[in-house]
Structure 1
Amino acid sequence: MKNASILVVDDDPDVLTAVRLLLKTEVKQVVTEKNPGNLKDHLTSQQFDIVLLDMNFNSSINTGNEGLFWLKEIKKMKNAPEVIMITAYGHIDLAVRSLKEGAADFVVKPWQNEKLIGTISEILGKKGKGGGSTAKISNDSIIGKELLGQSEVMQDIFYKIEKIAPTDANILILGENGTGKDLVAKAIHQHSLRAAKPYVKVDVGALTDSLFESELFGHKKGAFTDAREDRAGRFEAANGGTLFLDEIGNISLHQQAKLLSVLQNRQVTRLGTNQPIPIDIRLICATNVPINELANESRFRKDLIYRINTVEIVIPPLRKREDDILLLSQHFMKIYCNKYLKQELQFDQKALEKLASYHYPGNVRELQYSIERAVIMAESNVLQAKDIIFSPIESSVVPEFEPRELNLSAVEKTTILRVIEKHHGNITRAARELGLTRTALYRRISKYDI
């Protein structure tokens, strides 16, 4: 690095100053430029090893993204330097596209200084050896074992995971229930620099206001009636590692304010104390609430959205991953044949057609449970179409009241089915509409064998 020359192109003078101060003792030369129009002049007048290039400028170039335009211009030049793109917030799709256009890597604002230096050092090292810069998925990765997909959209998600996992950027995972958001979160942790540290998952949508602070931030003995001993919260448990907050879209505005304060200050205070405790976590959040609904100020604070959404990953529903349905079906069949000590089974053609043609409102989770049920009930080594039964909870047609079913149990069961269907399987919202707690609703689901 001591012999490297770096050109930094960004229209934000604060960014230029910060990079110049950071790198001036690390490399031979740092040249900064606010106007990307002067890029070619710099590159023709002297040789640079790396260009740090912003993805968005106040420019008249109408390409959809100025950074991509200037990246292509650089790559056209003879002896073009390596390019590291600088991006912000949720522009991960553009950043991934830049990699396909020839960028060596990208960094997300605000970056960690050590990470930026490490990225530059790695690219310079690989450039000297003539190697590429794309990381490979390890053989023991959750990707390919639990998180599966051969469709183009899933391959893009795997590529994003590889690129963003080593950063410390906060990530928001969006997708319908049952799409595998928790598996994506695990994969990000596994490929991160914190992989050897704790991975802690919390279903925050299920926490009441009284439990929220105690569960996340911890408490001191005697802080409330049942606080019989000091207890660390989930933030402390995840210190040094990754904290995954599932169902983040279902927490109250009061809870959001508490969470925002912790994320801003990077410290927690246990209930019953005034002593702040520093925390160092990588935050991943997930929700089935569409981002445009989440951005409604009456429902979710926009300042918290920006805090948790440095990068977002959208997982498509299974009905948009048709190429993956049979792959996943075979995967689940092998799992449940082993679990239930069944001989190896096969699907006949009609069963495969039925699996491929269904719309899966319950996504991968519904497919998984359907295959499990089929394996359990199988009476031969070939699964037929009649053996594939999809969940009545997810069915687009909810059974209507029969005239004779006017007893309270029948009415309650049908009502629960309709409300769960209305909320697309979201138990938290269904319970709220029914006036029940999640636990009480789960008891009724079990009681009626829904």
Structure 2
Amino acid sequence: MSSAWNILLIEDDPVVARTTDILFRLAGHHLDLAADPGAAYSLLARRRYDAILLDMNFTAGRSSGEEGLACIARIVADHPGARVIVITAHSGIRIAVAAMQAGARDFLMKPWRKDDLLAKCAAVIGRREMPGASPAPRPVMGTTGPPLLGDSAVMAEVRAIVRRVGPTVASIAVTGRSGVGRTLVAMAVHGASGDAAAPPIRIDLRDAEQWGALDRAQGTALLRHPDRLDGVAQARLLDRLLPGLRCISVADSLDGLAPALRRRLCTLEIAVPPLAARRDDAVVLARHFAQIAGETYGRATVTLTPAAEAIIAAIDWPDEVRGLAAAIERAVLLSDDGVIDAAAVRPVTPATPSPAAPDPAPAFRLEDAERLMIEAALKEHRHNISRAADALGISRGTLYRRMAQHGL
């Protein structure tokens, strides 16, 4: 191979990771490290890799390879063209075979020799499809946007629906609260389609000047806010949608659409859940946003403390995922050492309410959020009252009073 490779290593052993990094750098290649699958999904959402090296176990005491197999399934589903090489112990032939069946391109046994590892990568990266073989499907990741992050069952269901309906010509409506990632899901649908090589025509239907693009629209159109149109405008829209045009719509809700327009725009609805319905995903997303902000602002490494992650998962974020991203970016920018603590991730409430659908009943009261924040700060600072108070931005006396109020 004449050019440098871009390699992703998913490995939790820091010694192995460091050794592998040195090996590839000396060979003139670049290697990114992910210590666990979650970190790998974040990197894969931002970059392309020529090959992915994957250890098969990440939890102490586990040797079944189930974690690695689940990781392969997720990577191959999100990036069908991914070249995965699994690394397993000499006794792991069964695991290696299962990995190949799951979509890995090759495997390597531990302890590996450096020449063998480089040769495996060269073979996988340079390998061409066999004559007559069907070309690999186009990955969702690319010009159309990154894969959808989140480990919750509801987001796994969203990803499964996207993979199922994306390759079809069906018109899809993506609904949910503003800020939850509706446009990202819409672009993932387009990215899984046969038209993915060309960007969709994006039209905000609230802007009359953008309607002219409908007269020449071909392929796929991404229509924003059809539910904000009155009855007359909806009828005009229906008349101007050309036959054969695939529509991917983004809306708060489909309740306000006329039946005829709803049939045209919504063969299937994908409802994107709010963060309150997938609180663990908030931590996954926060880590992802922290790494992006760290790269943007020149922070070598950015970490969230356990207390910060507890707060992120516990509170209801104004403006949903968009608000979480803004809060994490602000925290990274203001951080001196790249460590984000509980006090740094408190959300800033928007000055004006969103015109989106009415907020659902809060998952818990403000007092509950305050208690969780205090508990997290105390845990992080091992019940050192002075340090916990500093982290929360309050005095020791105030912290003692709040602890008494909450029975802490």
Normalised by the length of structure 2, the TM-score is 0.51
Secondary structure at 1:163 match in 2: helix
8 A Cα contact 1:171 1:285, kept in partner: yes
The separation in 2 between residues aligned to 1:421 and 1:154, in whole angstroms, is 21
Indicate whether 1:301 and 2:258 are aligned. Answer: yes
Check if 1:316 corresponds to 2:292. Answer: no
Deviations 1:186-237 (A, max 9, x none): 11111111112331212213x2xxxx2x5223xxxxxxxxxxxxxxx2452x
Q: How does 1:184-195 map to 2 (within 5 A)?
A: 184-195=185-196
Task: Identify the residue that residue 34 of structure 1 maps to in structure 2.
Answer: none
Find the aligned partners of 2:230 and 2:222 in 1 and give their Cα distance: 18
3-state secondary structure, aligned to 2:250: strand
1:178: which partner in 2?
A: 179
Q: Which runs of 5+ in 2 are unaligned?
A: 1-135, 360-408
Please show how residues 65-76 of structure 1 align to structure 2 within 5 Å. none
Give the direction of change, closer, same or farther, for the CA distance of 1:418–1:162 in structure 2 (3 Å limit).
closer
| Alpha-carbon contact 1:374-1:389 (below 8 Å) kept | no
Deviations 1:301-358 (A, max 9, x none): 2211122111111111011112211110110000011111123111112111111111
Separation (CA, whole Å) in 2 of partners of 1:365 and 1:248: 21
Q: CA–CA distance in 2 between the matches of 1:381 and 1:215? A: 43
Shift in Å, 1:362: 1.9
Q: Computing the radius of gyration over CA atoms, which structure comes out larger, 1 or 2?
A: 1
Following TM superposition, where does structure 1 have runs of at least 4 consecutive aligned residues deviating by more than 4 angstroms? 141-144, 418-424
Mind listing any 5+ residue stretches in structure 1 that lack a counterpart?
Answer: 1-134, 218-232, 267-278, 295-299, 394-415, 425-450
Is the CA contact 2:146–2:188 (under 8 Å) kept in the aligned structure 1? no
Equivalences, count = 227
Judge conservation of contact 1:143–1:158 (CA < 8 Å) in 2.
no
Matched with 2:211 is 216
Structure 1 residue aligned with 2:220: 242
Partners of 1:235 and 1:243 within 8 A in 2:
no
Equivalent in the alignment of 2:352: 417
The structural deviation recorded for 1:138 is 2.8
In structure 2, the partner of 1:387 is: 344
Q: Secondary structure at the match of 2:247?
A: strand
TM-score, normalised by the number of residues in structure 1: 0.46
Q: What SS does the corresponding residue of 1:392 show, helix, strand or coil?
A: coil
Give 1:243 shift.
0.4
CA distance in structure 2 between the aligned counterparts of 1:305 and 1:153, rounded to whole angstroms: 24
CA distance in 1, matches of 2:159, 2:137: 10
Tell me the residue number matched to 2:150: 149
Question: SS in structure 1 opposite 2:201?
Answer: strand
Quick one: which of 306, 326, 333 aligns to 1:349? 306
What is the root-mean-square deviation of aligned Cα atoms in Å? Answer: 2.9
In the superposition, relative to structure 1, how do residues 157 and 139 fare at CA in structure 2: closer, same or farther (>3 Å)?
A: closer
Q: Which residue in the other structure is 2:322 paired with?
A: 365
Q: How far, CA to CA, are the matches of 1:144 and 1:422 in structure 2? A: 26
Q: Name the residue aligned to 2:297.
A: 340
2:237 aligned with 1:259: yes
Please say if residues 145 and 188 of structure 2, whose CA atoms lie closer than 8 Å, have aligned partners that are also in contact. no
Q: Could you tell me whether the CA contact under 8 Å between 2:144 and 2:191 is conserved in 1?
A: no
Q: Give the Cα separation in 1 of the matches to 2:356 and 2:304.
A: 29
1:361 offset after TM fit, Å?
A: 4.1
* Equivalent residue letter for 2:200: Y
Secondary structure at 2:180 match in 1: coil
- The CA distance in 2 between the partners of 1:316 and 1:422, in whole Å, is 13
The amino acid that maps onto 1:287 is: A
Shift of 1:287: 0.7
Give 2:246's match in structure 1, choosing from 282, 287, 293. 282
Change (3 A) 1:245 1:420: closer
Structure 1 residue 327 corresponds to structure 2 residue 284: yes
